[in-house]
Amino acid sequence: MAGRNGRTVRDLRRANRTAVLQRLYFDGPLSRFELGPATGLSSGSVSNVVADLVADGLVEEAGSVDSDGGRPRTLLRVAPVSGHMIGVDVGETRVRVELFDLTLTELARAELPLEQQRYEVEVIVDHIRSGIDEVLATAGLDPARLLGVGIGVPGIVERTPDRGAVVHGQTIGWNAIPLESLLRTGSPLPDAVPYFIDNGAKTLGQAEMWFGAGRGARNALVVLFGSGVGACLVTPEAEHGRAVEWGHLTVRVRGRRCRCGALGCLEAYAGAESLLARWREEGGRVPGGTDEETALTTMLAAAYPADGTPADPVALAVLEETAEYLGAGLSDLINLFQPERILMGGWAGLQLGSRFLPAVRKHALSYALRHPAEKVTIELGRLGPDAVTVGAAILPLADFFSRGGRRPDPDPQAPPPAWHTALQDRAPR
């Protein structure tokens, strides 16, 4: 029966379960007494919901604390083994697959390299399937116990009614690739286990907002600095995050040709691929036969030698110029969106780290308008190289929360996952 606002009793129970699960997840362990004000539910509703969640194996006791003059209060927490998720990062040098329990503790991982950064669709699909098989076998986990598989990919992702998630990745040669349906064909997983596919910068941003340097912020930009560059924008109007094709902002008219085919994109100057290419063009000794991550490590060591030897002036000049391009690109984001925080992640961002960030910060603030520049902080992300896989695993976790801790509906005609709605409650209070 539906109430005046159209919500049924079932909807109300699901919302109450979601509220309790999320507060225990982010703020727990908590007592029943503490859950009342934390969720806005009455003590009776909290008791009923907790009883249901305990009966379902989703919540367990976690010790007790003394109360003021009364009996000790039992603490509750989310049971880690009550659910499992897989996160996948389709990266620039490899496909990384990680298996997590419900509290996002890593249980197993697989790293499958990509040769010369080639994004053949069949290879990517096979790597994802193989990685899923490997992590499940390593952990000895029944695939039916998965809440879902989250996948972070380069490019724009749209959801279609007939083919599921379709990826438009112009820089990697993917034109409307029906990745979800391809993964479903010959999948090692039961049909009831859903796939959640989204842009990799967005999954990186989601991880930082839930568990990293973005916690507590309402307006933030999380930048992925790898072979290319991308960003995730989080605002009150886009609380679940929105991928921004920032790397294809034009920074120089008739400039260098970008991987997307256009001229003068930020990515053509600030991505690690172009950074190394510019070093090579200027006479730098880029090591042959190595992947980009190794080559960038060599360049960084040449520009900032740790043994007191003179710096390679070419490497240093290219890095300094790249810092200015990145800073100028960030200034556009500051002027457009006025974020309170900008976080830099991605493998190249993490490699260059603290040596590179001060210069990027200086240029960003010098190019931006004074008022928004005075209100923004620019820092590194805190979750390291696994941030994209953690963020990808959050997608099925958020869907699980939105369902009140119920597993996905095995009915293929069921409505699409509601994880975007759950992500709106992305950050701990």
The tens digit of pLDDT for each residue in 49-75 reads 999 999 999 999 888 777 666 678 889
Which is nearest to 213 in space by CA: 302, 333, 92, 340?
Answer: 340
Query: Residue 198: enclosing H or E segment and its boundaries?
Result: strand 195-199
pTM > 0.75: yes or no = yes
**pLDDT tens digits for 264-277?**
999 999 888 898 99
Q: What pairing do the DSSP bridges indicate for beta strands 238-244 and 195-199? A: unpaired
Q: Place 426 in a pLDDT band, splitting at 50, 70 and 90.
A: very low
Could you tell me the domains of the chain? 10-78 (1.10.10.10), 84-203+387-403 (3.30.420.40), 214-382 (3.30.420.40)
Q: Quick one: which of 318, 343, 317 has its CA closest to 330? A: 343
Measured CA to CA, the distance from residue 328 to residue 23 in angstroms comes to 39
Which residues, in sequence order, are CB contacts of 28 under 8 Å at separation 6+? 62, 75, 76, 77, 78
Q: What helix, strand, coil percent values describe the chain, rounded to 5?
A: 45, 25, 30
Q: Please, what's the largest Cα pairwise distance for the chain?
A: 77
Query: What are 336's two structure tokens?
Result: 């457009």
Q: How far apart are CA 193 and CA 222, in angstroms?
A: 29
**pLDDT digits over 356-400, tens only?**
899 999 999 999 999 999 999 999 999 888 899 999 999 999 999
Contact 226, 346 (CB under 8 A): yes
Query: What would the pLDDT profile of 220-275 be if each residue is shown by its tens digit?
Result: 999 988 888 888 888 766 555 677 788 888 888 888 999 888 999 999 998 888 98
Residue type (1 letter), 319: L
